Amino acid sequence: MTVSSDVRRITDTMAAFIGHGAKNLPDDVLKALETLRSKEDDPLALEIYDLMFRNLKLARELDRPTCQDTGFLQFWIRCGSGFPFIADLEEALTQAVIEATASTPLRSNVVETFDENNTGNNTGTGAPTFWWDIVPGWDGCEIYTYMAGGGCSLPGHAMVLMPGQGYEAAVRFVLDRMTSYGLNACPPLFVGVGIGNSAETAALNAKKALMRPIGSHNENEKAAAMEKLLEDGINAIGFGPQGMGGRYSVTGVNVVSTARHPACMGIAVTVGCWSHRRGCIVFDRDLNYEVRTHSGFSAEYSSHDSGSDQSSSFGKAGAAND
């Protein structure tokens, strides 16, 4: 197989995976929502949960995106230094976004800054987003996909606290954001908290926190304790599904931290909506892949054996997004 047909295979698989992720929630998110619904007793909240699950079922049956805001595509790539296609990945993923936009279809959500025109294909200057981590000595590649919706991107916030304010200030920073912006961001929310040296390291840590499975815990005991305290605390605020009131407000809180300067504590929060559309797929050097997030994604969605005919396996493709 030539390099170009291999790159085509990455593109096809990723286009199919992006489309699948727009139509199906990850296993951990579904499970978390089911748990919250089973523990809820507010009648309006229960009516909203019922609507959510009916919508997810209908999305599967009709093969459509669960939400009209299919987001701004972001990729966090943990790439082995020996992965043979490291140099081709950005181009392949960009092409996958263009193809998934037409085949899924995804809403065109990329607007060029200053020029203020919608590019129509979900790509543009710096779009999709790529964050890279290189894993020395590995020949595989782990790709996290995230569809960052407008509503749940709005609460995003980062700043640098003075260490004298302590972790107490970090708690206020997160909870203040929940009542000011979180209500409107389609709760139950999945909350990512990042702590680091500066505003941007904290912000990226917060995003990485959203990629970690719901129900996983930070390896540091104190950080894990803070995850639990924040989760219980935000639930106790009681804003519930859609912010209209309910017993539970979050599917989870994950904290990711890195070391900091003694004089600074960067803190950031970012949230995923109830329809937290993130995926994780791992390729080996031969492009065999394993999907970590969606048990329903199978080879029938990808054109593994076909280097060129990607349209046949996508179902209802169309020139939808002109």
Partner 1 sequence: MIDKINGKTVITTPVSAEEIASLHVGDVFYLDGEMVTGRDSVHARVVTEGQQLPVDIKDKVIMHAGPIVRIHNDAGSSSAEGSAGSPSYEMISIGPTTSMRMENFEYEFLQETGARIIIGKGGMKDKTAAACRDLGAVHCVFPAGNAVIGAECVEEITNVHWLDLGMPEAVWCCRVRDFGPLIVTIDSEGRNYFEEKKVEYEQRKEEQIAEISKQVHFMK
Q: Which residues bind partner 1 (CB under 8 A)?
A: 44, 47-48, 51-52, 54-55, 58-59, 62, 64-70, 105-109, 111, 117-118, 120, 150-151, 154, 163-164, 166-168, 170-172, 175-176, 178-179, 183-186, 222, 225-226, 229-230, 233-234, 236-239, 241-245, 273-275, 318-322
User: Between 13 and 121, whose beta carbon lies closer to partner 1?
Assistant: 121
Burial of 316 (C-beta count, 10 Å sphere; 0-12/13-18/19+):
exposed
CB nearer to partner 1: give 82 or 163.
163
Query: C-beta of 48: minimal distance to partner 1 in Å?
Result: 5
CB of 275 or CB of 310, closer to partner 1: 275
DSSP 66: S
What's the rounded Cα separation, in Å, for the pair 199 and 183?
24
- Least gap, CB of 53 to partner 1 (angstroms): 10
The residues near 195 (Cβ < 8 Å, ≥ 6 apart) are 170, 202, 205, 255, 256, 257, 258, 260, 265, 266, 267, 268
Q: How far apart are CA 254 and CA 212, in angstroms?
A: 7
* Residue 239: CB minimum distance to partner 1, A: 6
What is the torsional sign of CA 293, 220, 204, 176?
Answer: positive
* Distance in Å, CB of 221 to partner 1, minimum: 11
Residue 225 CA to residue 255 CA, distance in Å, equals 10
* Separation CA 193–CA 206 (nearest Å): 4
CB of 198 to partner 1, least distance (A): 18
| Residue 123 structure tokens | 């790509």
Comparing CB distances to partner 1, the nearer of 86 and 320 is: 320
Closer by beta carbon to partner 1, 126 or else 150: 150
Shortest approach of partner 1 to residue 175 CB, angstroms?
5
As a whole number of angstroms, the distance between CA 244 and CA 242 comes to: 5
Smaller CB distance to partner 1: residue 109 or 205? 109
